[in-house]
Amino acid sequence: MPVQHNTKLLIVDDLPENLLALSEIIKQDDRIIMQASSGEEALGLLLEHEFALAILDVTMPGMDGFELAELMRSTEKTRHVPIVFVSAAGKELNYAFKGYETGAVDFLHKPLDIAAVRSKVNVFVSLYQQRNQVRHQVEALEKSRAELHATQIELQRSLRMRDEFMSMVAHELRTPLNTLFLETQMRKMQLEKGRLDAFGEAQLQRMVERDDRQIKSMVRLIDDMVDVSRIRSGKLSIRPSETELSDLLKRIVSDLSHQAASANCDVALQADTVAHGVWDEFRVEQIIVNLLTNAFRYGSGKPVVVTLKTNPLHAEISVRDHGNGITAADQHRIFEPFERATTKVGSGLGLGLYIARQLAEAHGGALGVESVYGEGATFTLKLPFRNGLNRR
Ligand SMILES: Nc1ncnc2c1ncn2[C@@H]1O[C@H](COP(=O)(O)OP(=O)(O)OP(=O)(O)O)[C@@H](O)[C@H]1O
Ligand SMILES: [Mg+2]
């Protein structure tokens, strides 16, 4: 058992020489001895400290030992402190202590037998220390039980999330797969009927574009899932190199013009400045594509504006749409994985913003949103020009 240096003993006697003698007899490294020269002083100490034992002189002017003991037994904090009375043998022992039944009580007789005093006090000290140790063990046990319970709940939650995730993924993959399947069925039928005119150059062009869209959407979904699992295992990496943002933005906006047109969105790019920095161009593109795809999806076909600005510390790209916007309550949530705004429009796994923010942070940057519900949303990506780059 580890030595407990904080075991406190209280000795109460009106005569300083008695206090000195007693404390010399019982002192040891594992205990602190506190002294009081009256019942009143003793009560003050008793209320302030936790004692393993109180040794009370029976005969004291003012409050005597028995009166002090009775007060101790009637107060919750001191009720269970064991008491040893010190009395002149035979003389005061016929006083019956009324609180006898409520706790450990013992007697020492004057003149004090040094060995008897020591062994008696040692018994009380080791009882106290053992009890304390048991209490600590019980507390530790209870703590680990609570932790186990929390882990269990967390485990159940992640199992449930995994199930929900699987069915969402299945659903999301089904849509493009179904479309592709229908297309091939149709082509098979046309081939069987010898209708080769359905495969003219213009028709083939459109078919390939349609197929391309379905395949890209499945590839994106699978890439997103791979990214999420990389983020979760701390293995998301960025490969920074010299990058210029205004040219990158021009290219992205032009690449997405088809998607913008099918969402009836007009996209304007405001980038009168250049922004050179060391960033992972592919990942920055992924962030911007996510924001633009959202602006098309949730922007109600209203104009979308992409802006590039710089300040001495950051390059800032914002994507503003004029759709419904996002309620204050949803503004935090939507950056969490699989979270979608309560006012659901369209379909999606709810991974885009989560991945985008993680990518921004991996660059030492940030991604945030400002929105007044009903008036559109502005997502802003901040990329630092130097430092804070998180190369993993
Ligand atoms: N520009 C926006 N305007 C309004 N709501 C938005 C906008 N962008 C995102 N949201 C809300 O935030 C949610 C989370 O967006 P996020 O891009 O993470 O997922 P998603 O678009 O639903 O699916 P995914 O991107 O995985 O295909 C969206 O479901 C939508 O409710
Ligand atoms: Mg999205």
The DSSP output letter for 96 is: P
Q: Which of 232, 257, 286 is the last residue of a domain?
A: 232
| Beta pairing partners, 241 | 279
Would residue 16 count as lying in a domain? yes
The rounded distance, in Å, linking the Cα atoms of 173 and 214 is 9
Whether 200 and 247 share a structural domain: no
Tokens 């990158």 sit on residue: 248
Establish whether residue 296 lines the binding site of ligand 1, counting it when its CB lies within 6 angstroms of any ligand atom: no
Q: Find the 357 Cα to ligand 2 centroid distance in Å.
A: 12
Tokens 């991604």 sit on residue: 367
Q: What is the mean pLDDT of each run of 10 residues along the chain (392 residues)?
A: 72 95 94 96 95 94 90 91 83 53 74 92 93 94 96 92 82 89 94 91 92 90 89 89 96 94 95 95 96 95 97 96 94 87 68 94 96 96 75 38
- Give the residue, by CA position, lying nearest to ligand 1 atom 28: 340
Establish whether residue 376 lines the binding site of ligand 1, counting it when its CB lies within 6 angstroms of any ligand atom: no
DSSP 304-356: EEEEEEE-SSEEEEEEE--SS---HHHHHHTTSTT---SS--S---S-HHHHH
Which ligand has an atom closest to residue 298 CA?
Answer: 1
Q: Which of 232, 263, 286 is the last residue of a domain?
A: 232
One-letter amino acid of 326: I
Would residue 138 count as lying in a domain? no
Contact 102, 96 (CB under 8 A): no
The rounded distance, in Å, linking the Cα atoms of 289 and 295 is 10
Whether 321 and 364 share a structural domain: yes
Cβ neighbours, 10 Å, residue 252: 20
Whether 285 and 219 share a structural domain: no
Ligand 1 atom with the smallest distance to the CA of 349 is 26
Whether 46 and 98 share a structural domain: yes
Token pair recorded at residue 331: 């503004």
Kindly report the backbone phi and psi dihedral angles of residue 158, in degrees, each rounded to the nearest multiple of 5, phi listed first: -70, -30
Q: Find the 143 Cα to ligand 1 centroid distance in Å.
A: 40
Whether 283 and 318 share a structural domain: yes
Would residue 389 count as lying in a domain? no
pLDDT of the residue at 287:
97
Token pair recorded at residue 115: 């060995």
Provide the CATH number for the domain around residue 223: 1.10.287
pLDDT of the residue at 232:
86
Whether 64 and 178 share a structural domain: no
Token pair recorded at residue 44: 């003050």
One-letter amino acid of 209: E
Whether 99 and 176 share a structural domain: no
Whether 258 and 341 share a structural domain: yes
- Give the residue, by CA position, lying nearest to ligand 1 atom 13: 340
Would residue 131 count as lying in a domain? no
Whether 39 and 75 share a structural domain: yes
Tokens 């204050």 sit on residue: 328
- Give the residue, by CA position, lying nearest to ligand 1 atom 6: 298
Would residue 182 count as lying in a domain? yes
Establish whether residue 283 lines the binding site of ligand 1, counting it when its CB lies within 6 angstroms of any ligand atom: no
Nearest to 169 by CA among 217, 208, 126: 217
Q: Which of 211, 232, 253 is the last residue of a domain?
A: 232
Establish whether residue 321 lines the binding site of ligand 1, counting it when its CB lies within 6 angstroms of any ligand atom: yes
Provide the CATH number for the domain around residue 269: 3.30.565.10
Provide the CATH number for the domain around residue 12: 3.40.50.2300
Would residue 118 count as lying in a domain? no
Whether 331 and 260 share a structural domain: yes
Domain with 331 in it:
241-384
* Tally of structural domains, the chain: 3
One-letter amino acid of 242: E
Contact 76, 84 (CB under 8 A): no
pLDDT of the residue at 99:
47
One-letter amino acid of 141: L
DSSP 154-222: HHHHHHHHHHHHHHHHHHHHHHHHHHHHHHHHHHHHHHHTT-GGGGSHHHHHHHHHHHHHHHHHHHHHH
Whether 203 and 312 share a structural domain: no
Establish whether residue 349 lines the binding site of ligand 1, counting it when its CB lies within 6 angstroms of any ligand atom: yes
Token pair recorded at residue 375: 């008036």
pLDDT of the residue at 390:
40
Whether 211 and 273 share a structural domain: no
Q: Find the 350 Cα to ligand 1 centroid distance in Å.
A: 6
Which positions ≥6 away from 225 have C-beta within 8 Å? 169, 351
